Each structure stands twice: as structure tokens, then as C-alpha cells.
Amino acid sequence: MGLLRLRTVRASVKPGCPKCGSEMIPVPRDWYACSSTVCDYEISASAYALYEELGSLFEKDPALFFAMVTRHRDEMRDLEPVWLR
């Protein structure tokens, strides 16, 4: 399973802010921002969707998640020239 296939997975629970744990809320310009008044964390809508999907996959099956990450890492390393490793 490649990373792009994860885009069909949907999280049942919205993950909180990775910085403080507060709720993330949509803001104009296709971004999400932390709802806390003391936290300045923001993330683009596409990055937040990937964050939700990966979090959902991890919660559902951690072993599958780490197997997928390892496979993706190995694929990326295979694309890298040996002298850059």
C-alpha cells in the first residue's frame, strides 16, 4: 500500500493540535489553526487531512501503519543515489 492510497481513509475522531492537544478549527485560505488562545499552531488543509488519515490508520492497526512507513522509507531510499546515503 502506497502513501497516496491512504487518502481514502477517514478519521472517525478529529485529532487535536499536535502542539497542545486543543481542537483544530478551519480558518480562511484552506488552513487549520489551533483553537487555543495561547497556541499559534497552524497547518494547511491538505497537510491536516494527511495528519488525520495517518492518525486514523495508526489507531486502527499500528503494526500495519509501521509496516507501511517502513515500506515507504525503503522505496524512497531506493530512489536516492548511493553516494547521498
Cα angle, residue 14 at apex, residues 38 and 25 outer, rounded to 5°? 40
Q: What is the pLDDT of residues 16-60, one digit of tens each?
A: 898 998 999 999 889 999 999 999 999 999 998 998 898 899 999
Distance CA 5, CA 26 (A): 24
The pTM of the full predicted model, rounded to 2 decimals, is 0.61
Residue pair 42/34 in contact (Cβ under 8 Å)? The answer is yes
Closest-CA residue to 43 (of 26, 68, 64): 26
Per-residue pLDDT band for 13 (boundaries 50, 70, 90) equals low
74 against 7, higher pLDDT: 74
Specify the pLDDT at position 2: 47
Specify the pLDDT at position 84: 75
Does the pLDDT value for residue 69 go beyond 50?
Answer: yes
